[in-house]
Amino acid sequence: MPANSASDPSTVGHAGDRPLSARPLVVATRGDSASDGAIELALAMATAAGYPVRLVAVIEPATDVPTELGAMAYVSADEVDGRAAMQRAIDAQLRRLGVRPRKVTVDIRTGDPAPVIVRAAREARARLVLIGGTEHTVLERVFGADTAVRVARSADVPVLVVPRTCSQLPESAVIAVDFSDESVRAGRAALALFPDPEAVHLVHVAPSPQPAIDLVATWEGHYVENAERVFEKVRYALPLPSGTVVGRHIVRGNPARELLRVARERRVDLIVAGSHGHGALKRLFVGSVATALLRDATIPVLILPAGASPVVLDEHAHSSPQPHVAATSALTS
């Protein structure tokens, strides 16, 4: 086992006083190719900004230890063997990727993957959690997306789901905006992590007017007019470099499908979304739509969990204003 490996959560240590620059990128891995892109992207970010990288691997126990055993619970021989096998798999993965072990730390834990990953990131005071996207059978894709959604629902920091073949720093992005503070915060989190995009496309999924409504054309005209004004507020709230090309798009339909379509047509490298908002995007991370987005995306997807206070936003706290964007009622009136 490499000298920098941590096979027990207790080796993580207290991170309460950890400076912002030392807060790591946490990458979930099982030692297989599904997390190759996540590891390589994390290392690219580490090279660009000096972030530490911590790999977190979770071994699912064959059987649950009854909670009533309390202090009688112990680490079984099977678990010890599982940790050793996981460490060998991770070592082989790093060798295959050409990564020197000293560039990362390894934290191997046992339990239900999603809550364990969240807990490990919280203890390390991570700035970002990266999870590999699964690209094999339908069942594997759904399972992988489900784990990512569960992490995104309860994590304290942004979650980046990375397909296996994506390892380069993104240069362009689609940012889903519903004109709520949550979507603005998601955009700011993305720009803190990837501060120099060549192009950013702000995409709003508008509600579809009911056929029975009179003067639908007039309603749509007012909606688009108001949306253009609010787009300007969102643009002002995001710390975009002066050279970044900014596109604005109003679409209708299934939120995940429309985000994927615009991302594909604009050939962007990243999709950004908040996990809670208003209108159509409120449904984005409450069920099958979230799974569809994470399952079908062929580029990284960055999710800002609801209620999260990501440390990455601290870096832009004084670089640009972050006005309250409360315009949903104006758009739907």
Closest CA to 141 of 125, 161, 124: 161
Which CATH number fits the domain that encloses residue 16? 3.40.50.620
What stretches of 155-287 show up as alpha helix (H) in DSSP?
181-193, 216-237, 255-266
Domain end position, chosen among 120, 136, 163:
163
Residues 56, 75 within the same domain: yes
| Res 183: pLDDT | 83
Residues 318, 220 within the same domain: yes
Query: CA–CA separation, 287 vs 275, rounded Å?
Result: 11
pLDDT (tens digit, 9 = 90+) per residue, 31-49?
999 999 999 999 999 999 9
Beta strand ranges found along the chain (DSSP E): 5-6, 25-28, 53-59, 105-110, 128-133, 159-163, 172-176, 199-206, 245-252, 271-274, 301-304
| Res 327: pLDDT | 42
Residues 85, 119 within the same domain: yes
Residues 159, 185 within the same domain: no
Query: CA–CA separation, 311 vs 38, rounded Å?
Result: 20
Q: Using CB atoms within 10 A of its CB, is residue 192 exposed (0-12), middle (13-18) or buried (19+)?
A: buried
| Res 13: pLDDT | 37
Residues 58, 113 within the same domain: yes
Q: How many domains does the chain have?
A: 2
More confident call, 152 vs 90: 90
Q: Report the greatest alpha carbon distance in the chain.
A: 71
| Residue 169 DSSP label | P
| Res 196: pLDDT | 93
Q: Which helix (H) or strand (E) holds 123?
A: helix 113-124
| Res 230: pLDDT | 79
pTM: 0.80
What's the whole-number mean pLDDT along residues 131-146?
61
Closest CA to 86 of 31, 134, 138: 31
Token digits of residue 240? 């975009």
Question: Above pLDDT 90, what percent of the chain?
Answer: 44
Query: CA–CA separation, 13 vs 9, rounded Å?
Result: 8
For residue 49, give the amino acid letter: A
Q: Using CB atoms within 10 A of its CB, is residue 243 exposed (0-12), middle (13-18) or buried (19+)?
A: exposed
161, 301 in Cβ contact below 8 A?
yes
Residues 153, 192 within the same domain: no
Residues 56, 79 within the same domain: yes
Residues 189, 305 within the same domain: yes
Report the SS3 class of residue 201. strand
Cβ count within 10 A of residue 85: 12
The pLDDT-based confidence of 78 (bands split at 50, 70, 90) is low
| Res 20: pLDDT | 55
Length of the chain equals: 333
Question: Above pLDDT 70, what percent of the chain?
Answer: 66
pLDDT (tens digit, 9 = 90+) per residue, 107-129?
999 999 999 999 999 999 999 99
